[in-house]
Amino acid sequence: MACLASIREALSPGGLAVLDLFSPYYKMSRDRVLTGEPVVMDVRTPDGLLNRRTTTSTFDHLAQIETMAVLFEVFDGNRKIREHRATWKLRHTGLWELELLLKVSGLRPLVRCPDFAFDRPLDEQPTFDRATDDFAFIMTKAEMA
């Protein structure tokens, strides 16, 4: 709410703001990705180094909070030359929950663009229920009564 209030305060009359969000598909919380199994992604750079990212996530269904532990490793051949660990807590917020938060904070959504499909009219946009992971709101200050 503090972030949304700050956005509202920063908008000049008639001004627009864009809020770009990642919103995981609601069935994702039942997927193995959030049950603690590590997910590994390797990328080899042009100089031959192997960059490995290992992510382990768990999900608190009641609080809608994902805890993501990430290990970044860099290998030169079989020798590890760097390592960095990070942990993030991500709050999963549903589309309708966010729309309510916008309304309560005094912001009025003008356009919702799932999957960054700015080239399509609203009636041809992918829907949130079909597993869209990204969407953006273009919004303005709501008229206060």
Q: Give the pLDDT confidence of 20-35 residue by residue, as tens digits.
A: 776 655 555 455 455 6
CATH topology of domain 1-23+93-145: Rossmann fold (3.40.50)
Compute the distance between CA of residue 68 and CA of residue 99 in angstroms, rounded to an integer. Answer: 26
Q: Taking a C-beta distance cutoff of 8 angstroms, is the pair 117, 125 a contact?
A: yes
Residue 130 has pLDDT above 60, yes or no: no
User: Model's pTM, two decimal places?
Assistant: 0.57
Check: CB of residue 25 under 8 Å from CB of residue 132.
yes
Please report, for the chain, the start and end positions of each structural domain, with discontinuous segments joined by +. 1-23+93-145, 30-89
